[in-house]
Amino acid sequence: MKAAGIVFINLGTPDSPSTASVRKFLREFLSDRRVVEVPRAIWVLILYLIILPFRSPRVARNYKQVWMNNISPLRFFSQRLVDGVAAKFAEHYPDAKIHTRLAMSYGDPNISAAIDELLAAGCERLFFLPLYPQYSATTTAAVHDQICKVFAARRDIPQWAWLKSYYDHPDYIAALASSVQQHWSENGRGELLLMSFHGIPKRNVELGDPYQSHCEKTAEALAGELGLNKSEWVLSYQSRLGKAEWLQPYTNKTVIGLAETGTKTLDVICPAFAVECLETLEEIDGEAHEFFIEKGGEAFRYIPCLNDEESHQNLMFSLCRPFLEEKNVNFR
């Protein structure tokens, strides 16, 4: 087997929970044309005159509430996941030269640096695995853009492949179902299971983004794996930004509505997030939790992301295996 490099890619995180670091991260993230498809002249004014000055301090305060071990949860759990998968590669392919890296679309460690390191280590084949189960132009396509940008500046391009999505992969659905079942065995089963996915503007879907369809298929597959009927689970979308219409129903409104109509115990899982981050810990287990209790709910039970759990490591290993064994992989 030729020396291979595998890059696991997540969205990114500030280097610290300071306002300056958060502002730097948000500027890079929200400047990506894949992320925000508003006309540039208008968006630059909104970004620099409204969002960065006013949102950065608030987001920094939120990060301070979830910061752990001098590092963000997203980076902490992402790195532990990659380290765990690397150990499985060493165990199953003891004679192979397989190098793994964690990279971020925004912030550090960045994709360009990861590619440079792997090529310097002698890797002749590269595989990129975005940690986004459901494909969206706002996330996965943005990763693809960055990879192509790096190679556009190179004369000698290695063989490479990437994974577009894994929203319905059997091991992914099984891992999610296992996490829910473990939660139920330890805490009892709530009246309803809410599956909260990250939202995107509705217009993106109308223009051809398959994200909503992927989310719905993930939710249906998970419900099927758990044996739930349609009255026992709900799908919603979180993390709306701006005044445009995003995918609905919105998570916060859904949580409030459920509490107001008599739901007392609610189990909540966020299948679109591979590891814990601000959107799961602060927005769901913090803000949405508070809304539910304030409106009459009694128990809001957040089910953690897959993080670095063994089932998640096994899933990543399964997703990489065709590349490592050169089976049914479309190289570029």
Residues comprising the binding site for Fe(2+)? 198, 279
- CA angle at 220 for the pair 219 and 222, rounded to the nearest 5°: 65
Q: How far is CA 46 from the centre of its chain?
A: 26
Tokens, residue 119:
């090529």
Helices (H), 121-246: 140-152, 170-187, 202-206, 211-226
C-alpha to C-alpha distance for 307 and 141, rounded to whole angstroms: 23
| Contact status, residue 5 vs residue 123, Cβ threshold 8 Å | yes
| Contact status, residue 4 vs residue 99, Cβ threshold 8 Å | yes
Cis-peptide, bond into residue 249, ω within 30° of zero: yes
CA atoms within 13 Å, Cβ hemisphere of 100: 22
Indicate the annotated binding residues: 198, 279
